[in-house]
Amino acid sequence: MKIDGKPFRSIWREEDGSPWGVVKIIDQRWLPHDLRIEALVDRQAFAVAIRDMWVRGAPLIGATAAYGVAVQMAEDPSNASLDETWEVLHETRPTAINLRWALDDMRARLRPLPPEERARAAFARADTICEEDVEMNRKIGEHGLAIIRDIAAKKQPGEPVRILTHCNAGWPATVDWGTATSPIYQAVEAGIPVHVFVDETRPRNQGAQLTAWELNSHGVPHSLIVDNAGGHLMQHGEVDMVIVGTDRTTANGDVCNKIGTYLKALAARANEVPFYVALPSPTIDWTVKDGVREIPIEERSGAEVTHVQGRDAEGRIVTVQVSPDGTDARNPAFDVTPRALVTGLITERGVCEASPEALATMFPDRANKV
């Protein structure tokens, strides 16, 4: 997608005269206020970037980990180094399954190769993972566009399709396009009027900081809302559909996503608003069935709840405390929406029901492998 009209991806490899070039990312901690680009030069830098959320969003976490393996293979392509890198990167964040998917994929492809061939193969595969992510998201957009088109067809000409989204499942969370935003961008390109309600998404405000920023950059009409406003808007008929992303969807169709998604799904069901989840297939964990009981939920620092980051009148990025000194805070970062609340899963292969049967029919090549 674009920043200030210039094409951008969230991660890329740049020539710098060295054999493999340098991997660069946007350090998302400072958006929308500052566009800071960082080079990730060794395994530790990759681990820090994922753990401390310089990069975030399930597909981007996976792509970053793949490059982290490649950079380490250029440094030390031994079996021990490959295994240790899997561990070091895997322990950075527990919930998004794309991380384990990318690490498993890299290790399975590299292990049979002689060590001297591993760096080249690893960079090539990491590049491919990125290209595949872009293509999957583009296709998710096509399938999601068909749903938006159907809703638009029932409206008066010029009346926007009103879409609520939570967190940031936009292009910064993937390599490009985004998952939840891809149908929205494609609807705009197709000339369908849309209006997006953007949940701010406390505690880290990915909606306010990232989704509002990218929709603004692309001229997509939107309103930022507090996390608690969605139910009210749905109750008053102001939302036509919800589209969210996911960090891990089980083989049964349960959807784990940013904390607060479950409440939106409940409100959507109570108000008969369709609730869609957009996901590329690496986000499906075929080894897990019951999302509520089996998916590890990341617990982050309470400081993210007691404090908020923003920009002051002088343009400086500041963190301010919003609760009394010493307040205890709990900060589960994700929740699970049971499949019964999901209207449909928008994948790169098409839209299916959130059920084990429908997922297995859509992905027979993956479902039967586990």
Q: Contact positions toward ligand MRU, by CB under 6 A?
A: 56-59, 96, 167, 169, 173-174, 179, 206, 245-247, 257-258, 333
Contact between 118 and 85 under an 8 Å Cβ cutoff? The reply is no
The side-by-side arrangement of strands in the sheet containing 275-278 is 222-225, 194-199, 161-165, 241-244, 275-278, 344-347, 350-352
Going from the C-alpha of 91 to that of each of 46, 65, 167, the distances in angstroms are 12, 11, 23
Q: How far is the CB of 295 from ligand MRU (least distance, A)?
A: 12
End-to-end, the C-alpha distance of the chain in Å comes to 35
In angstroms and rounded to an integer, the radius of gyration of the C-alpha atoms of the chain is 20
Using CA atoms, how far apart are residues 226 and 198, in angstroms rounded to an integer?
Answer: 8
Q: Which is nearer to ligand MRU, 29 or 109 (CB)?
A: 29
Q: Is 258 annotated in some ligand binding site?
A: yes
Q: How far is the CB of 13 from ligand MRU (least distance, A)?
A: 21
Q: What SS3 class is residue 288?
A: coil
Q: Is 118 annotated in some ligand binding site?
A: no
Place of tokens 């002051």: 312
State both tokens at 325: 């000194």
Q: How far is the CB of 134 from ligand MRU (least distance, A)?
A: 12
Q: Which is nearer to ligand MRU, 8 or 115 (CB)?
A: 8
104 tagged catalytic: no
Spell out the SS3 assignment of 41-68. Answer: CCHHHHHHHHHCCCCCCHHHHHHHHHHH
Question: What are the residues whose beta carbons fall under 8 Å from the beta carbon of 329, sequence distance 6 or more?
Answer: 302, 303, 305, 306, 323
- Helices marked H in the chain: 43-51, 58-75, 79-90, 97-110, 115-153, 181-189, 206, 212-217, 230-235, 261-270, 291-294, 303-306, 356-362, 364-367
- The residue among 265, 204, 203, 181 whose CA lies nearest residue 231 is 265
Q: Is 206 annotated in some ligand binding site?
A: yes
Q: How far is the CB of 368 from ligand MRU (least distance, A)?
A: 26
- Residue whose CB is nearest to ligand MRU in the complex, by number: 245
Q: Is 139 annotated in some ligand binding site?
A: no
Q: Which is nearer to ligand MRU, 74 or 329 (CB)?
A: 329
- Report the Cα 363 to chain-centroid distance in Å: 21
Q: Is 208 annotated in some ligand binding site?
A: no
Q: How far is the CB of 30 from ligand MRU (least distance, A)?
A: 14
Active-site hit among 105, 176, 199, 247: 247
Contact between 278 and 180 under an 8 Å Cβ cutoff? The reply is yes
Q: How far is the CB of 258 from ligand MRU (least distance, A)?
A: 3
Q: Which is nearer to ligand MRU, 64 or 306 (CB)?
A: 64
Using CA atoms, how far apart are residues 342 and 316, in angstroms rounded to an integer?
Answer: 41
Task: Indicate the burial class of 191 (C-beta count within 10 angstroms; 0-12, 13-18, 19 or more).
Answer: exposed
Q: Is 58 annotated in some ligand binding site?
A: yes
Q: Which is nearer to ligand MRU, 257 or 337 (CB)?
A: 257
Q: Which is nearer to ligand MRU, 10 or 72 (CB)?
A: 10
Q: How far is the CB of 68 from ligand MRU (least distance, A)?
A: 16
Q: Which is nearer to ligand MRU, 85 or 246 (CB)?
A: 246
Using CA atoms, how far apart are residues 261 and 3, in angstroms rounded to an integer?
Answer: 28
Which residues define the annotated binding site for substrate? 56-58, 93, 206, 257-258
Catalytic residues: 247
Which residues define the annotated binding site? 56-58, 93, 206, 257-258
